Homo-oligomer: A and B are copies of this chain.
């Protein structure tokens, strides 16, 4: 998606450790009109007539996914990060490893909001190692629902998460795949 790549090139910051910061338009300050353009692009890629609900993960995926779900005319759910002291019953749970916080995190989703048989479009703003999305796929499986597609705004291709999901046969698409991010700048994977 050309507009997104241009924003990454123009406004993204590369920090030591190949970290790409895009918090000026994607996940701290959010350009909601860009989110709508991202929604239009996902609507071209995925067959939304075969999707019942949008699923994302707390917290940075919520803003983009909410605008997408609104434009798709679909409801949205998000998996919460569990605090150890408030895990109740009636929840799907998935253990993932957070590289950001360098510890295990439990994603939780109330069972009543993801009925068996639902066709789920998983959306997230960022894909690095893929742990968050792996956890979401696991929750969909636990629910007896199906993953209709996985849509990512920005993938860090060199961290392997996206390719693992492609190789598993998921209907996976990322709008901008960063192949290199270092002191020389940001380069995208050829399409």
Contact = CB atoms under 8 A, between A and B. Distances in A.
Contacts of A85: 101
Interface string A69-85: 11001111110100101
Query: This chain: how many copies in the complex?
Result: 2
A122 B29 CA distance: 14
A59 interface: yes
Contacts of A80: 28, 59
Interface stretch (A32-40, A43-51, A182-190): A32-40
Contacts of A83: 101
Interface of A: 23-24, 28-33, 35-36, 58-59, 62-67, 69-70, 73-78, 80, 83, 85-86, 100-101, 109-110, 112-113
